[in-house]
Chain A
């Protein structure tokens, strides 16, 4: 198990290095000079050159890559061209919204999907199963910004249980922020839960057809015990895969929901940075997201191995 983890760690590091190279050079070849953009159309060439010097844009590419990558390792992400503050501060503030939102949505999605998927699998072919399947179909089909607006209409405007948007900040206390994140998390969780429930259902159904479930029943387990003791863990692998993918997606993919609820999250930051040619912010956020995806993949790999002993020996 330890060796498996170490091998995964090595491949994780290699992935990160490759990703950083790709990100840096792709952004290098995108047209548009940040210094010129920041100073506006009428800036004099000397001023642009001076700003380029100040931002380090006149250095050779390799030097800039190394200083960017090296800085990142020590937590120095550089300074945003547009905000004129350290990128690390910007990201930390935005991550303070996006990460809890992602985890919240993922938690909701998992809490909904597991029982729903299990019930559908256990009662497959019944009216209940058909109803659940229809519901999840709807959950996937409904655009989540529209669903978000319905939530706002109902829970914020009619019932006035939640605020319609905005984020108070963590210095204002825990629950007030959780409250602010609830509707966005629900809106994000709905399609994810629907997908996850369907995956869960089909994974459990497939597992229930396996010979070892028959063996378990022959040992005297009731069908419920057979599901809980034998089917569930075996059905977990495809479900874990989806949860891993959903985490990566939610972290930066919540931009529309962030806009609906006026949340200062990572999605909005990267959107603004791209429109303003704030390349250092784009690079850093993208790198951070890549890191998050690779890290999540690593964690998912470890949970695979924990769930299935057959995977421990392979690397």
Chain B
């Protein structure tokens, strides 16, 4: 259907892609996997000829005997959205906020002259129905902000398939979504390929996602395709060393020897937190949203406790409450079994509790040096310790950075290094409890494996408690002793991690586990036996 040969790309003289060649067949799913910066997205943008300024491209992309790269812009405009549709990672921002979803889907049809406005609106309705947004709940005059992330991604898909393109490019289409939503979106895409006979170029960093969907897989590293082939064969053989490393990292489980002690670090007792919603009428009472409804649990020294749940389940509110940033309506949270956590808690108590957030890019002041960033928790102490400098060096060494890094700025570090700095910042006060809020979710698999090892090692040496919040069940399974599953503000299931994963009791836990993409065990097992031989 489309044959790409020797695609090379430089942006402002920086090499991005080198000799990328692949073939996508009609009606098949082609998976392109690799870590961030490997050139996956640039490959897809090159096909669409939507590369950033300063791009220099060579090679060819043949589609029906035409070389896409040789076409002029006007001809490309006729192909985009018509013969090649594309959807992107971030559904929250991919839609124009000031246009209705009906107009945006219809625009694809109108712009290509395929329909009058009236017909286009009718077709838009059909397409939205096709992607699972029924007319009763999702009339055409809805605006994007009235929809959830998964629903918006469906609108994007409806837009991309409105003209039944022959190739659909999906760039991390489900990465920003919850597991159950991700599973639905992947099923939808797979269904479109099967029913409409279109081809799908699926770009993802997640091996398990391609395992479940793709017919063919290519593995990308630093702008080159290092290995490609039919999915199952490639997963079983893993010929290239990089592919092996990716696999090892994605199923990596740090070596942990949990030594859970009796001392209770954190005690959460029937916590309730609700928010006032906007009034329905001018003088009516404000309805309330119950974000956390009667949550209780304890966390002991040396223990790693997981908290899983989908977005909107109350995880973040609960996390904020534990950090002492929320006023509770009922219940209480105690540190060390007796000191109460609240927005007015003393600094000395706050020092015992630190947090690492998800986004290694957004959680640092870009104008501060690393030494300043890492030593920020010193504000919680009565005075800056005399050995501040040594403690900064020590904290940086502990997370695998050099003491000399203290004088650099945050933009000089990669995502993984930044997350190490975030951990160093959390460690510097020698806290007893660290809240890890999606702390490894934004990282590539190999970096994630390193950070998980680091966390396991630090826990062992410092005997800290971890509250590990994540939507990624694989990661939670790898690093926690116990796990809690949260849904609609309540803990629906809790227990030893292995027990919960092996034998989930609550239907919601089962649903989550079923939705989590996994590489079929026998694909991996087969290889392991071979290696042993």
A residues with a Cβ closer than 8 A to B are 210-212, 214-222, 225, 229-230, 233-234, 307-310, 313-314
Contacts and interface: CB of A to CB of B under 8 A. Distances in A.
Interface in B133-152: 143, 145
Given A218-B160, A309-B97, A310-B97, 13 more contacts: A211-B88, A212-B93, A212-B94, A215-B95, A216-B107, A218-B85, A219-B159, A219-B160, A220-B80, A220-B82, A221-B77, A233-B98, A313-B278
Interface in B25-51: 48, 50
Contacts of A218: 48, 50, 80-81, 85-86, 88, 160
B277 to A, nearest CB: 11
A215 B156 contact: yes
Which of A218, A230, A314 gathers most chain B CB within 10 Å? A218
Contacts of A214: 50, 88, 94
A135 to B, nearest CB: 24
A233 B218 CA distance: 41
B78 interface: yes
B173 to A, nearest CB: 13
B226 interface: no
Question: Which 4 A-B pairs rank lowest in CB-CB distance, beginning with the nearest?
Answer: A220-B81, A219-B81, A211-B93, A218-B86
Which of B73, B96, B97, B156 gathers most chain A CB within 10 Å? B96
Given A229-B107, A309-B143, A309-B145, A217 B97 contact: no
B116 to A, nearest CB: 17
B93 A210 contact: yes
B278 A217 contact: no
Interface in B428-455: none
Interface in B84-117: 85-86, 88, 90, 93-99, 107-108, 111-112
A225 B97 contact: no
A230 B79 contact: no
A306 to B, nearest CB: 10
A225 B80 CA distance: 14
Interface of B: 48, 50, 73-74, 77-82, 85-86, 88, 90, 93-99, 107-108, 111-112, 143, 145, 156, 159-160, 278
Contacts of A222: 73-74, 77
A229 B50 CA distance: 18
Contacts of A229: 107
Contacts of B48: 217-218
B415 to A, nearest CB: 20
A15 to B, nearest CB: 18
Contacts of B107: 216, 219, 221, 229
A84 to B, nearest CB: 48
Which of B88, B98, B111 gathers most chain A CB within 10 Å? B98
B85 to A, nearest CB: 7
A203 B85 CA distance: 28
A150 to B, nearest CB: 40
